[in-house]
Amino acid sequence: MSEAKKIAKRFFQIAAIFLLILGMGRRADAQEFPKFSSKNFDGKVVTSDIFRDHKITMVNFWTTWCPPCIGEMPDLGKLGRAMPDGTQLIGIALDAENDETIQEAKSILRKANADFPQIVPCADMASILETVEAIPTTIFVDSKGNIVGEPIVGARNEQSYRKEIEAALKALR
């Protein structure tokens, strides 16, 4: 990576942290995940219909420069391979804005053996992305696109996330 790119990346990291700190204490006001049309890391179109066929979708917001995000990836990988019936896990790498950062994200996922679907953030998601106070943040979305429960801020392990998934499923009953 060139020196200019390193400086730009560091600037982005500092700016993102500053913005996250400014947003601390703000509660997520979004009650539903916005309708969107984006792409996955392989360039295939993904829409908000991704939620439709699952009772609960666990959505993990992360970045390639966040140590806690990277640290929880192996547990998310295990979880993604053994999600309870009627559920799914997807990731949204907030800094996946170009080929370089997407490749970096893919490398992190490969090393962590985390092969769950990843979506590139898009402008259609602005209203939900604005509610992300810190990273990683995880939310649960029902089949109609409604957000279930409160956001989970910070890294968790597989067992902790399993409990959260069960709680989200119970909230639907």
Q: What is the pLDDT of residue 5?
A: 52
Q: What are phi and psi of 70, to 5 degrees?
A: -65, -40
Q: What is the total count of domains within the chain? A: 1
Give the domain range for residue 148.
28-172
- Block means of pLDDT (10 residues each) for the chain, 173 residues, are 56 51 43 95 96 97 97 98 96 95 97 97 94 94 95 96 95 85
For residue 68, what is the domain's CATH number? 3.40.30.10
Q: What is the pLDDT of residue 172?
A: 87
Query: How many helices (H) and strands (E) are present in the chain, helices listed first?
Result: 5, 7
119 occurs within a structural domain:
yes
148 occurs within a structural domain:
yes
Q: What is the pLDDT of residue 17?
A: 54
CA distance 49 to 98: 24
Residues in Cβ contact with 8 at an 8 Å cutoff, skipping those fewer than 6 apart: none
Q: What is the pLDDT of residue 13?
A: 55
13 occurs within a structural domain:
no
Burial of 157 (0-12, 13-18, 19+ CB in 10 A): middle
User: What's the whole-model pTM score?
Assistant: 0.83
Strand 45-47 with 56-62, pairing: unpaired
